[in-house]
Amino acid sequence: MAHRGKKGKKYTELKKKEEERARKRKALVAAFIVIALVFASALAGLYLTQPGPDDQITPPKFEIEFPRDEGQHNDSYEFWKVDFLLQNLGGDKFAVNVDYAIYENGDQKRFASLTDEGNISGQEFYAAEHDGSLMIGYEKLNLTFVSPYETDTWNGEYATGFDYDYRGRMEKGGAEVYDLNVQMTSMKDPILLGENGTVLLKNETKTYGTIRGYSITRLTVTGTLEFSDQTHTVNGYAWIQHHWGGWTLFDMEEYRFHLSTASELHILRFYDPTSGGIFKEIAYYSKPNEQIIKLELADYTVDILRYWVDPRFLPSTERCLPSQWDFHLTGVGTHISLSTSSSNQLDGFHWEGSVVISGIIEGISASGRGFAILNHPYFSVPAIETFYRDDDNPANPKLYANITNLILMDNATLHYQIDASPWSSEAMTLISGDSWMATITVSAGNNVKAYVEAYDLAGNRVATDPPMEWTV
């Protein structure tokens, strides 16, 4: 018993020491939890930026860090976007755009589109919007999207830079549109949005919110594209964009251009929902050596050469979207023209599609491809600038009308009256550009009256008044 009693005393002392160590561990754990909660609350405050009263908004408190900020944030709206500009071994070109979005109400969606620029499938544009579950890491880009129709994965690899493996497919109407399996290798470092990755959206009277984010403007792409019952070996370039924050959604335009000189051009415009004017514009030009030239409004001009009528609003409105442009960058010797590869690239939410580029870039003849978002409507009505007659053959005069309009004209008709006979009509022929022509038959001594009536694709009418009148 004495022996057992000695062991019992030693055991009791050891037990007391162990209990004391346990109490210390619990105190340390409790302290750690408190510190963690305080840090998490502060971190959420750093990330979360909601639209506030005029002139009041949470200022940015940190700079974007990688790969941490490639992951998900605690914000009211966040999206990850990737553009693929691809070409197969036969030279056929494809443009794939994918957006993964998380909304304030918790909705999670994926928007995907493919533009068949060579029209090898017999259809130029495919698009689908699907609800699903979006699972994203918080410390790096580790994205999985699952819907009833498809599963996409997009994972970052950071051993040598900003490199990614991407696998995504699109299904529509019960049929697969494409299956894309590619690797992306970054050629340039990320470019932060605005100052330190933060842009305040504000006009003179109202604050609309804050956007944070970045773009990786040039990544080489290799892999396969299953499309139109074929497996295409493809290569090309990608552009990645990641934005988050709290802001009001309204009309905007965005241009993301890959140029053949290994440079990129990015223009982002926000339009005031009340006045319709531009109240915030972000633009930069990325040179091949990664030098970033921030562009002010005085540094470039954008001229719209032609519009396309949005079929959703026909025929009762003049609402239309740009389809051809001239861009002139005064500071870098660049003058480029571009046009949409297919006019109708409406994805169900907005117009977002591919564009084709040619012109002079830093003094060199070059080309390019890119994407544009067109959410801001324009209005254009036709005008008959000139209406004249060619009397080289008096018995069969040719009548010409130059009808200017940034929307394509649908038709033009020449109405004419000979002496007191009833009015007759002759369909005019588009001979070049905006010039229309029709020929009529008359006789010497006839008194002739004539006028032109024309309609554009939106149903807008224009006519000459008063009529042209002459005696043969």
- Residue 216 has a pLDDT of 96
Asked if 383 contacts 416 with a C-beta cutoff of 8 angstroms, the reply is: no
More confident residue, 6 or 330: 330
* Amino acid at site 438: A
What's the fold here for domain 251-257+264-379? AttH-like fold (2.40.370)
More confident residue, 363 or 53: 363
Asked if 92 contacts 118 with a C-beta cutoff of 8 angstroms, the reply is: yes
- Residue 311 has a pLDDT of 66
Asked if the domains 66-249 and 383-471 are classified in one and the same CATH topology, the answer is no
- Residue 7 has a pLDDT of 36
Alpha-helix runs per DSSP H in 316-422: none
pLDDT of 411 above 80: yes
The chain-wide mean pLDDT, for the chain, equals 83
Q: What is the pLDDT of residues 184-203, one digit of tens each?
A: 999 999 999 987 899 888 87
- Residue 58 has a pLDDT of 41
pLDDT of 319 above 90: no
DSSP code at position 423: P
- Closest alpha carbon to 60 in 438, 325, 69: 69
User: Domain residue spans in the chain?
Assistant: 66-249, 251-257+264-379, 383-471
Task: Tell me the pLDDT band of 205, cut-offs 50, 70 and 90.
Answer: confident
Q: How far apart are CA 396 and CA 391, in angstroms?
A: 8
Percent of the chain clearing pLDDT 90 (strictly above) = 53
Q: What is the pLDDT of residues 158-172, one digit of tens each?
A: 777 799 999 999 999
Task: Tell me the pLDDT band of 315, cut-offs 50, 70 and 90.
Answer: low
- Residue 314 has a pLDDT of 60
Q: What is the mean pLDDT of residues 113-130?
A: 92
Query: Of the CATH numbers 2.40.50.220, 3.40.1190.10, 3.40.50.300, 2.40.370.10, which one belongs to the domain with range 66-249?
Result: 2.40.370.10
CATH number of 383-471: 2.60.40.10
- Residue 62 has a pLDDT of 53
Q: What is the mean pLDDT of residues 445-467?
A: 86
Asked if 264 contacts 239 with a C-beta cutoff of 8 angstroms, the reply is: yes
- Residue 34 has a pLDDT of 41
pLDDT of 14 above 60: no
